Amino acid sequence: MTLSLRTRLLLTHGLVVVAVATALTLLALQAERRWLLQLHGTALERAAVAVAGDVQEAQAFATIASRADSTYALRVSLIARDGRVLADSRVPLAQLDDHSDRPEVVAAFGGRTGRSLRMSRSTRVEYVYVAVPARGPGPVAVVRVAEPVDAVRATHAPSLRDSLLAAMGVILAGFALLFGLSGRFAGRVHALERVARGIGREGLAPRAAEVPADDLGRLGRVLNEMEREMRLRVEALQRERDDRERILAHMSDGVALVDGAGRVVHVNHRLAALLGAARPAEPGTLFQAFARVPDLDELLEAARSEARTVERELRLWSPRAQVLRVTATPLGGPAPAPVLLVLHDLTESERLQRLRQDFVANVSHELRTPLTSLRGYAETLAEGGLEDVEHRERFVHIIRDQAVRLQALVEDLLSLAELERPDVTLRRERFDLRAAAERQVAALREAARVADTPLELVSGGSVWVEGDRVQLEQAMANLLDNAVKYTERGRVTVRLGADDAFAWFEVRDTGPGIPAEDQPRVFERFYRVDKARSREKGGTGLGLSIVKHAIQLHAGEVSLESTPGEGSTFSFRIPLRAVAAVR
Ligand code: ADP
């Protein structure tokens, strides 16, 4: 059992107090004994000597003793030479034995005054005894007077009782003081203990009391300094950790640190997202259970066993198709080593790569047809075709048409390349969109007449916009050109206007329309619904793609509504005031 500090203080100090008080009491009792024997004994001796003077002649010992008793208020005993008690004023003689061995009697037999303080063997009362020799011829050899100690104390020594009471009072007061002091001391120690416990914990640690500036106060100051120092260090560490986590959280690569036992030390959000997890794994989770990609486990194992960085390309099909380049680097230290896993997403770059390849293939394909035809007709002419009066003119026209097609293709490619440049800038100016539309409609009027397709611009007021006039004119021209091109013996209606903060432009035709499944794709490069027809009409497959890019650069949007067999409506909306486009 461990006693509390307060109880222990109380017990040890209490013992000291009790010991001191007891010693003092014993000393006091000793002093009292001395006083009883010496000072009070002298008074008794005087009485004994007086009685001794009376006993020589008389024979009536009992009377002498009781008279002396009533005179001096003392017990008086007359003792013969052989130790027998001849008379006793308070105790019947039958109860009294031989008194020759009593120390005061022994001294009186020796001719001296004997004094003694002891318990009476006959009466079991504590007495102060004084015995004096009775000189003379009578049978009385010794006169002994005695007074009960209690009686002396009652009459002569009230101060002793007071001092004993005072001693008790001192002890009690000492205990009370001790109780208070030890409580205060233990309280201060406990307060320091609480402060010490709080150091290094989350939240604010209580401050230790530094006053009074005694040992505990100094200890308090040291604890406070320690706490301050610790807090600063913990804050610095936390800042460092937060910085590191912020860096990891904002990395575009997925990062995971896996310890030697295959448990997660840290996983950033990006890695969790790449693996389709809602949030990063908690530290201590088995990485295997979190990632559920066996290839990653193999890679971790390989990095550990080969003790070098291992890199591999990984294809994941869930949660979505992805291509990742994974690097596993063992971080050294005692085996099995922790491994740093970095997942780099190649999906987008692979998609772009594929787009580029497709584009090059498409462009080559588009160029090959006119080039083959050019070369064929040119060779035919060179190899005697010039003499063929009947056909040469047609050949030359074909050569010119193919060159025109090539030129159109190259121009569209250049326009698209220009629009797709990452640093493309719009040459913004304020102009009337209606006036620009009128010019484009006028430019196509002849083609519309040839196609037997009335082309009408519904009249209205000016629509002032801020934008790149050349690009917006090209977008309108492409939409008008398509409508006229694909609509035979139908009609094309053009409308434009403005609402709130937007300008809108719309071309409605009664042409063949576009099947629903092709509608989302017609704005892609080289996508054609009817390839043969597009080629026949001199289309490059890039017109709508150019429209989409131009409108997106103006922070606008294009849309298409079409019903096969009834016609199509292509339209775009752009903000009236220039805003930055989101690419
Ligand atoms: P193209 O140079 O072939 O016209 P576009 O990019 O301008 O290329 O158009 C892509 C395809 O969308 C066309 O090949 C055509 O099949 C279809 N298309 C475009 N406009 C219309 C329209 N007004 N009516 C029907 N089909 C259209």
- DSSP letters along 524-554, please? STT--SSHHHHHHTT--S-HHHHHHHHHHHT
Could you tell me which CATH number the domain at 428-575 has? Answer: 3.30.565.10
Vertex 62 angle, CA 56 and 64, to 5° = 50
Beta-sheet strands, E only, within 321-382: 322-330, 339-345
- Separation of alpha carbons 161 and 168, rounded Å: 10
Exposure of 580 by Cβ count < 10 A (0-12 exposed, 13-18 middle, 19+ buried)?
A: exposed
Question: For residue 158, is pLDDT > 60?
Answer: no
Strands 428-432 and 464-468: antiparallel
Please report the pLDDT score of residue 579 as a whole number. Answer: 73
- Among 478, 438, 439, 477, smallest CA distance to 461 is for 438
Question: For residue 388, is pLDDT > 90?
Answer: no
- Separation of alpha carbons 577 and 504, rounded Å: 13
Distances (CA, A) of 363 to 368, 369, 391, 481: 8, 11, 31, 22
* Alpha carbon of 531 to ligand 1 centroid (Å): 9
Question: What is the DSSP code (8-state) at residue 511?
Answer: S
Mean pLDDT of 297-319: 91
* Alpha carbon of 302 to ligand 1 centroid (Å): 54
Look up residue 174 and give its two tokens: 């000492």
H/E run at residue 562: strand 557-563
pLDDT tens digits, one per residue of 28-54: 778 877 887 787 888 889 999 888 887
H/E run at residue 16: helix 5-35
pLDDT tens digits, one per residue of 63-110: 888 888 998 889 999 999 899 998 999 988 888 889 889 999 999 999
Ligand 1 atom nearest to CA at 527 = 10
Please report the pLDDT score of residue 175 as a whole number. Answer: 87
Fold type of domain 6-156: Beta-Lactamase (3.30.450)
Ligand 1 atom nearest to CA at 538 = 2
Best residue among 482, 488, 491, 514 to mutate for probing ligand 1, ranked by most atoms within 8 Å of CB: 482
Q: Residue 140 — very low, low, confident or very high, per pLDDT cuts 50/70/90?
A: confident
> 160-164, 244-248, 450-454 — which is least confidently predicted?
160-164
* Alpha carbon of 423 to ligand 1 centroid (Å): 28
Is the minimum distance from the CB of 440 to ligand 1 under 6 angstroms? no
Question: For residue 58, is pLDDT > 70?
Answer: no
* Alpha carbon of 377 to ligand 1 centroid (Å): 28
Ligand 1 atom nearest to CA at 534 = 3
Q: Choose between 304 and 156: higher pLDDT.
A: 304
Q: Residue 259 — very low, low, confident or very high, per pLDDT cuts 50/70/90?
A: very high
Please report the pLDDT score of residue 182 as a whole number. Answer: 87
pLDDT tens digits, one per residue of 505-526: 999 999 999 999 999 999 999 9
The protein residue with its alpha carbon nearest to ligand 1, atom 14, reads: 528
Question: For residue 59, is pLDDT > 80?
Answer: no
- Separation of alpha carbons 475 and 44, rounded Å: 146
Is the minimum distance from the CB of 453 to ligand 1 under 6 angstroms? no
The protein residue with its alpha carbon nearest to ligand 1, atom 7, reads: 543
Mean pLDDT of 541-555: 95
Mean pLDDT of 102-128: 89
Question: For residue 15, is pLDDT > 80?
Answer: yes
* Alpha carbon of 69 to ligand 1 centroid (Å): 155
- Are 209 and 193 within 8 A, CB to CB? no
Please report the pLDDT score of residue 327 as a whole number. Answer: 96
Is the minimum distance from the CB of 543 to ligand 1 under 6 angstroms? yes
Q: Position of tokens 């026209």?
A: 397
Give the predicted TM-score (pTM) of the model.
0.55
pLDDT tens digits, one per residue of 200-215: 676 666 788 888 888 8
pLDDT tens digits, one per residue of 177-203: 988 988 888 888 888 888 888 876 766
Query: What sign for the dihedral angle of Cα 7, 9, 10, 15?
Result: positive
Q: Determine the length of the chain.
A: 583
Any residues with CB less than 8 A from the CB of 222 and at least 6 apart, and which? none
Percent of the chain surpassing pLDDT 70: 96
Fold type of domain 254-345: Beta-Lactamase (3.30.450)
CATH architecture entry for 350-419: Orthogonal Bundle (1.10)
Is the minimum distance from the CB of 530 to ligand 1 under 6 angstroms? yes
- Among 502, 479, 483, 501, smallest CA distance to 491 is for 483
Please report the pLDDT score of residue 433 as a whole number. Answer: 96
- Separation of alpha carbons 468 and 151, rounded Å: 133
Is the minimum distance from the CB of 141 to ligand 1 under 6 angstroms? no
- Among 84, 119, 79, smallest CA distance to 98 is for 84
How many other CB atoms sit within 10 Å of the CB of residue 202? 7
The protein residue with its alpha carbon nearest to ligand 1, atom 16, reads: 529
* Alpha carbon of 513 to ligand 1 centroid (Å): 10
The protein residue with its alpha carbon nearest to ligand 1, atom 4, reads: 539
Is the minimum distance from the CB of 490 to ligand 1 under 6 angstroms? no
Please report the pLDDT score of residue 62 as a whole number. Answer: 84
- In the three-class reduction of DSSP (H, G, I as helix; E, B as strand; rest coil), residue 2 is classed as coil
Determine the straight-line distance between the first and last CA of the chain, rounded to whole angstroms.
77
Strands 339-345 and 322-330: antiparallel
The protein residue with its alpha carbon nearest to ligand 1, atom 19, reads: 482
- For the chain, residues classed under CATH 3.30.565.10 are 428-575
- Are 483 and 424 within 8 A, CB to CB? no
Exposure string over 4-39, b if 16+ CB within 10 A, otherwise e: ebbeebbeebbeebeeebeebeeeeeeebeeebbee
Is the minimum distance from the CB of 495 to ligand 1 under 6 angstroms? no
- For the chain, residues classed under CATH 3.30.450.20 are 6-156, 254-345
Ligand 1 atom nearest to CA at 530 = 16
Best residue among 534, 562, 569, 571 to mutate for probing ligand 1, ranked by most atoms within 8 Å of CB: 534
Q: Residue 156 — very low, low, confident or very high, per pLDDT cuts 50/70/90?
A: low
* Alpha carbon of 485 to ligand 1 centroid (Å): 9
Is the minimum distance from the CB of 511 to ligand 1 under 6 angstroms? yes
The protein residue with its alpha carbon nearest to ligand 1, atom 3, reads: 541
Is the minimum distance from the CB of 514 to ligand 1 under 6 angstroms? yes
Q: Choose between 107 and 160: higher pLDDT.
A: 107
Exposure string over 164-184, b if 16+ CB within 10 A, otherwise e: beebeeebeebeeebeeebee
Please report the pLDDT score of residue 153 as a whole number. Answer: 73
* Alpha carbon of 541 to ligand 1 centroid (Å): 7
- Separation of alpha carbons 342 and 330, rounded Å: 12
Strand order through the sheet with 264-267: 264-267, 254-258, 339-345, 322-330, 310-316
- Separation of alpha carbons 43 and 540, rounded Å: 152
Best residue among 478, 484, 529 to mutate for probing ligand 1, ranked by most atoms within 8 Å of CB: 529
> 134-138, 387-391, 456-460, 514-518 — which is least confidently predicted?
134-138
Any residues with CB less than 8 A from the CB of 570 and at least 6 apart, and which? 479, 482, 483, 506, 507, 544, 547, 558, 559, 560
How many other CB atoms sit within 10 Å of the CB of residue 187? 12
* Alpha carbon of 283 to ligand 1 centroid (Å): 56
Is the minimum distance from the CB of 72 to ligand 1 under 6 angstroms? no
Is the minimum distance from the CB of 541 to ligand 1 under 6 angstroms? yes
- Separation of alpha carbons 23 and 25, rounded Å: 5
The protein residue with its alpha carbon nearest to ligand 1, atom 11, reads: 528
Ligand 1 atom nearest to CA at 511 = 24
Question: For residue 159, is pLDDT > 70?
Answer: no
* Alpha carbon of 175 to ligand 1 centroid (Å): 108
Vertex 418 angle, CA 412 and 419, to 5° = 90
Is the minimum distance from the CB of 475 to ligand 1 under 6 angstroms? no
